Structure 1
Amino acid sequence: MTRQTPPRPVDVEQLFPEVVPLRKETVRLHPRAGAPTCRDSSVGGPLLWPAEEAWPQCPEHEEAPMVPVVQIYRSSVPDIVPFPDECDLLQVLWCPRKHSGYRWVVPHVQWREAGAVRNALAAPPSPAEVWKNYVPRPCVVHPEPVTEYPYWDLHDDVWDELEFRFLEVDEETGWDYQSHLSTAPGTKLVGYPGWCQDPKWPDCSGCGNRMEHLLTVQSTEADALSRRAWVPTEDTHMPYEGPGLVLGDLGGVYLFECRTCPGRPFTHRYDCP
């Protein structure tokens, strides 16, 4: 089944033409509980991992294997997701235990060529201890490209220009720019991070440039405020059965990468309402 986000209830670009140059495309993954295989794109599903390659371990917890979070095949998502040359598979894992310094998870990003995996690992190692809220249940995904506009990432001068018009449109129509019209909520690739608070974009430690948003992993598809605008039309009258994550106070983890430096170095940020 496909998943399709409803059209925005008002014309954002007509009401707020200042955001037109800032629009980006994101890919909402719409994870739903299922039984993916290692040959499928998934959230929380099995990974196509070479049997001869070491499984990622948490650097903080000795001999603590990480758990699969996201696997995306290039063929299942639009071309707006910038895969490295020669790679057609993105894999993200993290350690499902609490960490020092109020960190929720410690992630690992792996790009690979799927066709080079001749002998896939049948059963990955399982951590002896987990924080269950950090382990996603296996989900199939339904990738959908969606246009989005910034909210927290608006520059101060644009914000000053638009703040009162945002309020006027909300009062006149009942549609709030932040919750209903700007950035797409939920787990998604590229586009804008789903910030809940002021942005904290990282700079690459190698070249010093601002890193690019790769992936948002969110606790929910849409919260109570945003769901009436962002829940797919196919799910309007259905209960949400997603990965079951609880990250902080229903927040998210954002992965960023440098697409200039060799090896695509990555880092992450946490965000919570």
Structure 2
Amino acid sequence: MTRTTPARPWEVAAVVPQLATTARTVTRLHPRTGSPTVQDSSVGGPLLWPRDEPWPTCTGSHEVSSVWELEAVRAAHHVTVARWSRPEDEAHTPEEETIFDRNEEKEIDSPYTDPVPLLPVAQLYARDVPALPWPDGADLLQILWCPFMDHDDDIPAVHLRRRRADQVTAVLSRPPEPSVIELEAYWPAPCVLHPEQVIEYPALNQLPAAVGARVRAWQEDTGHHYNAFASAPGWKAGGWGAAAWHEEEPADPPHCGCGAVAQPLFTIGLAEWNGHDEGGWRPVEDADAEDRRCYPPVGDPTGVDLGDEKLQIYHCPASHEHPPVIARVY
């Protein structure tokens, strides 16, 4: 099923004409609960990974005092999805209750120091996100992360792999998995994607001073929040990235270690819309959805929760061989 962003309630470039040259195409991914395969673009789905290629791990020091068992987190999610599809007065079965009892935080006595297999976060085929840079004939981007977020530099360990899908002739059917993760909200639930290309503009703190002053004057005159209309919420690829809550703090563009200004590649966001949806981003097809009164939430089905922040992955335009630049956006 497609997802369609409504016509914009305000045309941003009409408010401040100087913004017209800053428009960028962004792909809203619209993840929805499903059963993706290795041939699909997905969040939390299986990756088209060569059988003879080592699976990436994180060897950093993970200073945690408690963990969640991944198998129990996954089982509880599947049971809950199934439970919400049944009548409200139908009780949990004893087997389901056992699964829920297993899914709880476990204390540990020492830091988790073993190499940790990374978790699949997303897989994107070029056919679904053509606006992304695709080097050397690559048509598949795979994103993985460490399920223990707080490393020594306080930045999550993220791994990118670009490849040509037609060169994967033998697929790894059972990738390594961590037995435990730091929080259950760090496991992305399997979701199919409904990619949609829309236009977005820089956040307020990314604008030149003179343009930002005009936008602030418009906000004062109208009572609207520019960021709500300029930057698409939720999971997305490309575009301008995530808008910060603190509009007044200037945002210096992140740089690669080589000195080049890094460009937004992938955003792990919050829900696709909030309760009042001032920016008008709620898809037409979800107009009657019950939001968070159902499970999984229609506009936020991945289960990933990074608190009041979004995770922004940037790439270096000078070389796709350079490691990604990771930033948390509050």
**TM > 0.5 fold call:** yes
Instruction: State the match for 1:176 in structure 2.
Output: 225
Q: Provide the C-alpha distance between the structure 1 equivalents of 2:276 and 2:161, rounded to a whole number of angstroms.
A: 34
RMSD in angstroms over aligned alpha carbons? 1.8
Q: Provide the C-alpha distance between the structure 2 equivalents of 1:141 and 1:14, rounded to a whole number of angstroms.
A: 31
Instruction: State the match for 1:156 in structure 2.
Output: 209
Deviation at 1:99, TM superposition (A): 2.1
Q: Indicate conservation of the 8 Å contact 2:273/2:282, yes or no.
A: yes
Counterpart among 142, 145, 148 of residue 194 in structure 2: 142
Counterpart among 84, 91, 96 of residue 142 in structure 2: 91
Counterpart among 167, 179, 184 of residue 132 in structure 1: 184
Amino acid at match of 1:72: L
Whether 1:243 and 2:302 are equivalent positions in the alignment is yes
Q: Provide the C-alpha distance between the structure 1 equivalents of 2:279 and 2:240, rounded to a whole number of angstroms.
A: 20
Counterpart among 284, 291, 303 of residue 233 in structure 1: 284
Instruction: State the match for 2:121 in structure 1.
Output: 69
Instruction: State the match for 2:316 in structure 1.
Output: 258
Instruction: Work out the percentage of aligned pairs sharing the same amino acid.
Output: 35
Query: Alignment partner of 1:75: what SS?
Result: coil
Structure 1 stretch 240-249 or stretch 124-133: which is displaced more? 240-249
Which consecutive unaligned segments of at least 5 residues does structure 1 have? none
Structure 1 stretch 223-232 or stretch 37-46: which is displaced more? 223-232
Q: Provide the C-alpha distance between the structure 1 equivalents of 2:14 and 2:252, rounded to a whole number of angstroms.
A: 29
Q: Provide the C-alpha distance between the structure 2 equivalents of 1:236 and 1:246, rounded to a whole number of angstroms.
A: 23
Instruction: State the match for 1:10 in structure 2.
Output: 10
Which consecutive unaligned segments of at least 5 residues does structure 2 have? 61-112, 292-296
Q: Deviations over 1:104-150 (max 9, x none)?
A: 63110000011111110111111011121111100000110111111
Task: Give 1:208-223 correspondences, 5 Å limit.
Answer: 208-223=259-274
Q: Indicate conservation of the 8 Å contact 1:104/1:247, yes or no.
A: no
Q: Indicate conservation of the 8 Å contact 1:136/1:244, yes or no.
A: yes
- Matched residues, number: 264
Whether 1:45 and 2:96 are equivalent positions in the alignment is no
Whether 1:185 and 2:185 are equivalent positions in the alignment is no
Whether 1:115 and 2:166 are equivalent positions in the alignment is yes
Q: Provide the C-alpha distance between the structure 1 equivalents of 2:314 and 2:155, rounded to a whole number of angstroms.
A: 16
Amino acid at match of 1:210: V
Q: Provide the C-alpha distance between the structure 2 equivalents of 1:115 and 1:243, rounded to a whole number of angstroms.
A: 28
Residue 124 to residue 200, structure 1, CA distance change in 2 (3 Å): farther
Q: Provide the C-alpha distance between the structure 1 equivalents of 2:316 and 2:149, rounded to a whole number of angstroms.
A: 27
Q: Provide the C-alpha distance between the structure 1 equivalents of 2:125 and 2:57, rounded to a whole number of angstroms.
A: 23
Q: Provide the C-alpha distance between the structure 2 equivalents of 1:111 and 1:245, rounded to a whole number of angstroms.
A: 23
Q: Deviations over 1:157-196 (max 9, x none)?
A: 21123311222133xxxx43222x1111111111111132
Residue 4 to residue 204, structure 1, CA distance change in 2 (3 Å): same
Amino acid at match of 1:71: Q
Deviation at 1:55, TM superposition (A): 0.5
- TM-score between both structures, scaled by the size of structure 2: 0.76
Q: Provide the C-alpha distance between the structure 1 equivalents of 2:138 and 2:149, rounded to a whole number of angstroms.
A: 32
Instruction: State the match for 2:83 in structure 1.
Output: none
Q: Indicate conservation of the 8 Å contact 2:156/2:326, yes or no.
A: no
Task: Give the greater-gyration-radius structure (CA).
Answer: 2
Deviation at 1:264, TM superposition (A): 4.2
Residue 225 to residue 58, structure 1, CA distance change in 2 (3 Å): farther
Instruction: State the match for 1:268 in structure 2.
Output: 326
Deviation at 1:18, TM superposition (A): 2.0
Instruction: State the match for 2:89 in structure 1.
Output: none
Q: Indicate conservation of the 8 Å contact 1:193/1:216, yes or no.
A: yes
Q: Deviations over 1:30-51 (max 9, x none)?
A: 0011000011000110000011
Structure 1 stretch 256-265 or stretch 66-75: which is displaced more? 256-265
Q: Provide the C-alpha distance between the structure 2 equivalents of 1:135 and 1:54, rounded to a whole number of angstroms.
A: 21
Q: Indicate conservation of the 8 Å contact 2:311/2:327, yes or no.
A: yes
Q: Provide the C-alpha distance between the structure 2 equivalents of 1:231 and 1:245, rounded to a whole number of angstroms.
A: 19
Amino acid at match of 2:118: M
Q: Provide the C-alpha distance between the structure 2 equivalents of 1:228 and 1:192, rounded to a whole number of angstroms.
A: 16
- TM-score between both structures, scaled by the size of structure 1: 0.90
Deviation at 1:62, TM superposition (A): 2.8
Q: Indicate conservation of the 8 Å contact 1:97/1:104, yes or no.
A: no
